[in-house]
Amino acid sequence: MAKFFIDRPIFAWVIALFILVVGSVAITQLPISQYPPVAPPAIVVATTYPGASAKTLEDSVLSVIEREMNGSPGLLYMESVAQANGTGNITLSFQPGTNPELAQVDVQNRLSRAAPRLPQAVTQQGVRVDKSNANFLLFIMLSSENPGVDPVALGDYASRNVIP
C-alpha cells in the first residue's frame, strides 16, 4: 500500500489536500455549545489601599470582605492575594452551573454591607467586582519515585524552577 503512494506522489498530495479541506469544513460544524463549562465561574473583587503594606491590607480590608462573603449561595472557595504595593484581590469560585451574573450581583450586595467597615481610603479608591474566566490552559503534575522527596520539596522545586 505504501509503495502505491510512493510511486504516485501527486495522487498522495491530492488526497492529503482533500482531507485538509474536509477537516477545515468539519471543524466549523462542531457542536461546541453543547459541552458543559468545565471551569467554575469566578468573581474577582479588586481593592486598592494606597500606602498600606500587605499585612495591613490583609487585616483591615481583605479579611473584612472575606467574612462578609462567607455563606454566599453556591460559593466553593475563596483565594485572596495581598501585594506590597497596596493592591489586593479576592477570587470567589462558585459551583459549576451557577449563573455568573447573579453571583456577581450577590457579591456586590454583600460588598455593600461590608463597605462601612472598610477604611476611608479604600472606599475612596473604589472596590471593583468583575467576572473572571477561570479556564485552565495547562496542568502540571510533579512526582518523584524517590521516597525522600515529600510534597513540600516538590512544591519548593516547582516554585524555584517551573514557575519562572
**For residue range 139-156, what is the model confidence (pLDDT) as tens digits?**
778 888 888 888 888 888
For the question of whether the overall pTM of this predicted structure is more than 0.85, the answer is no
Place of cell 524517590: 146
Indicate the domain borders of the chain: 42-132
Reading phi first (left if > 0) and then psi (alpha if -120 to 50, else beta), residue 155 is in: alpha
Output phi, psi for 137, to 5 deg: -95, -30
C-alpha cell at 76: 466553593
Task: Give the model's pLDDT for residue 92.
Answer: 92
In 49-152, beta strands by DSSP E: 75-82, 87-94, 128-132
| Residues composing the chain | 164
- Topology of 42-132 in CATH? Alpha-Beta Plaits (3.30.70)
Output phi, psi for 146, to 5 deg: -75, 120
Per-residue pLDDT tens digits of the chain, which is 164 residues long: 788 888 889 999 999 999 999 999 998 888 877 776 677 889 999 999 888 888 998 989 999 999 998 988 889 989 999 998 889 999 999 988 888 899 999 999 999 998 889 888 888 888 898 888 755 666 778 888 888 888 888 888 888 887 77
Contact 73, 65 (CB under 8 A): no
